[in-house]
Chain A
Amino acid sequence: MPAQSDPRFDAQPETAAALAQMKEVAWTATDPELLELCRVRMALMLASGEDLKEPAPETLSDRELAFLAFTEQFVLSVASVSDSEVDALLAYAEPVDVYSFVAALYSLEMTLRIEMASRVVLAPEEAAA
């Protein structure tokens, strides 16, 4: 079944469908539990409006903390990601798996960013409600 595309993008249906598919594949490209943890952190950082709660920091493993730290820097300023932040991921995953995680993160992050913008610029009645 094709991934469900965002109806706010009905004016560009083919691209919207490809974007929805990219977002869906992201969940199978990497550890989905880790990705969800990082997605929640991203959504909170971007003030997406979702009602989300993060697990208590003391319950997180060193691996989860490393991926969350990378996620924060990726969202805030990718140009400032450091060698050590990537090395911290490489302590837990092979290079190609680190790449797949970052690609999955990009897919979810940028989709979320334009979803937030589209609520206002493509569906102003939705934003005003």
Chain B
Amino acid sequence: MSTATRIPPPQTAGVHWYGTEIDVAIDTFSATAVRASSLDAITTEVVRLRCARYHDCRLCQSLRSQDALADGLDEILAAKVDHYENSDLDESLKVALRLTDAVIVNPSSVDATMAAQLHEHFSQEQIAEMLHDIVKWSFQKVLVALRLEAPVRDGLSVLSFDEHGDPSIGESIAVG
């Protein structure tokens, strides 16, 4: 599979990708979704990582949330996302990942059992936030389709968001 960009990358780095009206609308939605804070940082991060790996976003897979790192995320936990059902992850994280999988693979598979599991661990507000997060992180589909998602460096980098919800990729993370 080719990983060369399929269209010329945007000329103005960091400003709404190509500066189109749809870019502005997507960025506004994304920033609003990021500012929502009813979910803990680890739950938000495992959902982000699951989307990144399923959609094969090289950039997103190379990032780790600063907030999740502060809350104890490490590479042992991150690796468990790939085989979460057979892992010792908390049941609440497994439920969040089941919803993520259902939405990004086959949303018609969401059923009453999944709804009951979700409501056992999460409030209505948290479930709504999780669904919005799945949309937000899945913007990577646009980048992957056009192969615009090259990582900024080899290895892992810190992903953070400012008070407006705008993203920033920071220093590299030493692993090992």
User: Which residues from chain A sit less than 8 Å from chain B, CB to CB?
Assistant: 8-9, 11-12, 14-16, 18-19, 21-22, 24-26, 28-29, 46-48, 70, 74, 78-83, 86-87, 90, 95-96, 98-100, 102-104, 106-107, 109-114, 116-118, 120-122, 124, 127-128
Query: Which of B71-79, B85-93, B123-131, B167-175 touches A?
Result: B123-131
Complex: chain A residue closest to B19, CB-CB:
A96
Question: B129–A15 contact, CB under 8 A?
Answer: yes
- The smallest C-beta distance from B80 to any residue of chain A, in angstroms, reads 21
Question: B129–A12 contact, CB under 8 A?
Answer: yes
**Residues of chain A with a CB closer than 8 A to B56's CB:** 78-79
> Is B152 an interface residue, CB under 8 A from the partner?
no
Interface of B: prevailing SS: helix
Question: A114–B29 contact, CB under 8 A?
Answer: no
Complex: chain B residue closest to A86, CB-CB:
B6
Which of A15, A99, A114 contacts B7 (CB under 8 A)?
A: A99
Q: Mark B116-145, 1 if CB is under 8 A from A, else 0.
A: 001100011101110110110011011011
> Is B114 an interface residue, CB under 8 A from the partner?
yes
Tell me the bound Cα distance from A124 to B124 in angstroms. Answer: 11
User: Which residues from chain B sit less than 8 Å from chain A, CB to CB?
Assistant: 1-2, 4, 6-8, 17-18, 20-26, 28-29, 32-33, 35-36, 38, 55-56, 99, 102-104, 106-108, 110-112, 114-115, 118-119, 123-125, 127-129, 131-132, 134-135, 138-139, 141-142, 144-146
Known: A103-B20, A107-B25. 8 other contacts (CB 8 A): A9-B131, A11-B124, A16-B128, A18-B32, A21-B29, A79-B55, A116-B107, A122-B127
